[in-house]
Structure 1
């Protein structure tokens, strides 16, 4: 049977994590369909049709999908689930919101954040904050799966899929988006950045993030991240959080400043290609995963580093 991937988008373009989900779906089976549900989202559907490996794009364009509420989206997916053996989405904030609803409505177990595909019914997923990899086999007729985007390459362009209109069910009216506050930044988006500079509780306060970390991120063309401790302390917004309960990242370069290396944080960044740690505590757990470690006071190290970068 075909595989249905639920696209994450902004009604005009496809979010990068969906490309990784398409790659994962392609490893499960050859026929991949992509569902684009939104309002005035034809441009997103056209972009989806160009993704390599996508055989068909299903377009559900209706006012009730404008904000992609999890209740309406889950109902749409379930209404069309019978034609598919697998339903796949990226394990982003959006995917984690609506996919459990899909699994519950279908009365099947969700297989969360897979990092590898063994066979069409057997998958590998991390447990215990990524310290153990579990191989999970499912006998459910429809397998509901979320994908850890950092574990799969992004699908490229070159596709020419047909776009098919899908009948939209009525608005369930169970929730309404009242307001959305977005953090605007000229820096790269955290989960798509090739370089990330992250700060922890050791930064002391939010002013030090602005004074020391932001100039470093700007010099390197990097995204800005933070540990949960820094977010909980109010230094930066929670969409900066990297970790098991934040965003999972795997950039080419990850610079951890004033981060001790709690297991929750390591689970979100330990797949980075090169990890640089700056911490005054030589026994900090972050040094166990770091490729390069510098034991020193960040308030002395960062100004010196910025001076060297010019």
Structure 2
């Protein structure tokens, strides 16, 4: 059977034989894939169902919720709750942790997710996505608490995302590389279409919200100025700049052709610690990027080593091709 014909289930079973993937994790990942298929359908039919546009509510991040933010969250909660090993769900859209067990056992799962990343793109028909990761508890818990979910990204046993674009793709890692699947319309199957995804070390492409230039510190301005100065600048080469306002879409582009994604701490967001959330954005995508041969940093520290302070913590993010991440890290070090 060719790789393009391998279904998501067959891939997971092969992974179990090769790497010992836990059978309950396979069940959970199949539930997540089902959630992503449903969300994809709800997005594509949103204009007909009247589910585009905003609600009257604001989420815990202080952001106005889109109707599909709420729908996607409900779909994730419903399907991730199917697995009997799941102890808690941690969502961007919900202030409180959703505990499914009163006394979780060692090995039970904590699931973190951003159910609909980049939802501001919905009304203009641009790509959006979902992000997820799984941590297994090291020890049993006598009682549940917010502190129990504050796990370093290095403890993730699985991470991935779905991107809802011209096709629906599902990209995952269980700690042995990164593989991408495409939803085959009419069959309901995700099939392996991008095996062993790798990020090249070097790149001439970066993704950043340049409208925030006047908020950046000197290190970030230095990096972007050098990239934009082109062949006559200190780097003696031209660079492309991209920005889609969806972290998933930008990271997916980097996974397929290289680049670096940057959302730094700046003067405007410094009081919050940055813009992007550590537990269900930076950590999961950081694991994916590292497993594909890239690097994930705050500009000073490895993201996956950060000890979380809260489950809605925000951080600076620099991730992608390793040469560029190292360069940005060096610029921050030289500025200290």
Max Rg structure: 1
Greater per-residue helix proportion: 2
Same-fold status (TM-score > 0.5)? no
The normalised TM-score by structure 2 is 0.28
The normalised TM-score by structure 1 is 0.30
